[in-house]
A and B are shown apart, each in its own frame.
Chain A
Amino acid sequence: MTSTLNPKKPVLKMDNVCKNFGGVIAADKIALELYGGEIFGLIGPNGAGKTTLLNLITGIYQSDDGEMFLLDKNITKVPTHRRARLGIARTFQHPRLLNRCDIKTNILMGSDLANKRKIKGGKLEEDMNMLLKCAGLQNVNLSDSIEKLSYGQQKMLEIVRALLCEPAVLLLDEPAAGLNTKEMDYIVALIKVAVQKDIAVLLIEHAMDLVMGICDRLTVLNFGHQIATGTPTEIQSNEEVIKAYLGGSCNVKS
């Protein structure tokens, strides 16, 4: 899967997006282009502004400056729920499911959205079973409460829910954090499904082997700055990146 010279139009485009919280710069002139069927990694040290970026994309935070486009539509001022209906789905660092509802209700939330967007699959049951199988959840009882699921299963369920929305862009916030290797494999399988469906996947992750292994391109954030963007090999040899991860300020040139 090639990337840098993708002839397709970008699904999501961010242009000079800025955000600061009372002087703390959380996003500084972020420019990104995501293409369908691509896995785009977003890495950076803790507090680099990765989750903030997701919150900007989903509209939970309003950007101070810059513009965002989803499939050529300017979504800079569009509220969160409208963006979701336009095709942005996300998961959270800590799963945010409906804790007092059963598993089935949780999953159906995703297809509700797809229905609202008038995407009639008509094969909800089939899709759901396929996704649940990919997530290793085929044996759970759908009428059980969410609390019966392990932390990893909850994270997986969140991705299943997001995929059932039939999104154009899927934002994953540290899907593998706190999971064991087997569960990681399920996550990769789910991401692969997303790629097959031509969804643009934005992946925030700390597990480097996972990121370097599956991402087509990635960008490195530090203190809200985009210090490098490129293919995994390019990033791995980038000096700024190494500095950001190994310590030392970017401004001090020794």
Chain B
Amino acid sequence: MNLQLLISGTSMGFVYGLIAMGMVLIFRSVGIMNFAQGEFLMFGGYICYMFNRIFNIPIGISLILSSLIMGVVGAIFMRTAYWPLRKAQSKAIIVSAMGASIVLKEGARIIWGSIPVSMDKVADGTAKVSTASIQWQYVAIIVIAAFLMALVYILLEKTFIGHIMQATAQDQYMASLIGIPVIVSIGLTFALSAMITGVGGGLLAPIFFLNNTMGMTSGAKAFAAIVIGGFGSVPGAIIGGLIVGLVEAFGGAYISTTYQLVLIYIVLVLVLMVRPQGIFGDRIQEKA
């Protein structure tokens, strides 16, 4: 029982970690909390579903294709919801992202309908470990998500494009002065963020049915993950995601499933009260 919960909690944690990582990438790049990140997950899931079930393409290739398309969606999102407002106050960007999330949610409903759908698993069947039965899909989620996280890390730290993206994140004006096209660089960041989050949707869909409101709840959990882990920190996003996933799994099993989200947010508020900057966050010192 506990092992089963541990595995499912960890794998959900990795998915939340992916969304959270996507949010953190955007936050570090433009200093804005993306309130539409959860919708990327939902939209990516639906695109994957479209390839897998409507065009009958194997799930592995569907995941890659959907991820690529999500890259485009991310770039479009950046161009429409963020770029025109980049000089406005951050509240305005948050509101426009909220508008965009409604558009994505309703768009998905109009295109794919509101009936929950499912698709193929990456790995079928269950493994028996003593009394626990573990779905292979959970293991697959952990492997794929960890692989993606490593990939993003390598991309950002070891490649030229990653360095450009980091330079832009740190100082847009400076970046443009040394010849980096800021719009391309930020666009890439949004695309990357949408890509990894979108894959998360494709991975979750076979376990929980896809519907157009799932972005909201997963987004809320990923948000909690970021805050718990420490705002703006990539390792924090992953650790926070794991904490959220485990609290959800064990809390759901031992306390009550109706209180799952409440439990997560109680953890969030407690963490904030004890350690206001989150686990990995930098201590904030206001400049005088």
Residues on A facing B (Cβ under 8 Å): 51, 55, 60-61
A251 to chain B, nearest CB (A): 30
Interface residues on B, range: under 10
Residues on B facing A (Cβ under 8 Å): 286, 288
A61 to chain B, nearest CB (A): 7
Q: Which residues of A contact B286 (CB under 8 A)?
A: 60
Q: Which residues of B contact A55 (CB under 8 A)?
A: 288
Rounded to whole angstroms, the CA-CA distance of A60 and B286 in the bound complex is: 9
Rounded to whole angstroms, the CA-CA distance of A51 and B288 in the bound complex is: 9
Least CB separation from A55: chain B residue: B288
A135 to chain B, nearest CB (A): 24
Rounded to whole angstroms, the CA-CA distance of A96 and B43 in the bound complex is: 45
Q: Which residues of B contact A60 (CB under 8 A)?
A: 286, 288
Rounded to whole angstroms, the CA-CA distance of A51 and B286 in the bound complex is: 14
A91 to chain B, nearest CB (A): 12
- A sample of 5 cross-chain residue pairs with beta-carbon separation below 8 angstroms, ordered by A number, consists of A51-B288, A55-B288, A60-B286, A60-B288, A61-B288
B285 to chain A, nearest CB (A): 9
Rounded to whole angstroms, the CA-CA distance of A55 and B286 in the bound complex is: 11
Rounded to whole angstroms, the CA-CA distance of A61 and B288 in the bound complex is: 9
B142 to chain A, nearest CB (A): 38
Rounded to whole angstroms, the CA-CA distance of A49 and B229 in the bound complex is: 34
A80 to chain B, nearest CB (A): 10
Q: Which residues of A contact B288 (CB under 8 A)?
A: 51, 55, 60-61
List 5 tightest A-B contacts by C-beta distance, closest first: A60-B288, A55-B288, A51-B288, A61-B288, A60-B286
Rounded to whole angstroms, the CA-CA distance of A60 and B288 in the bound complex is: 7
Rounded to whole angstroms, the CA-CA distance of A87 and B286 in the bound complex is: 23
Rounded to whole angstroms, the CA-CA distance of A60 and B287 in the bound complex is: 9
Least CB separation from A21: chain B residue: B285
A89 to chain B, nearest CB (A): 15
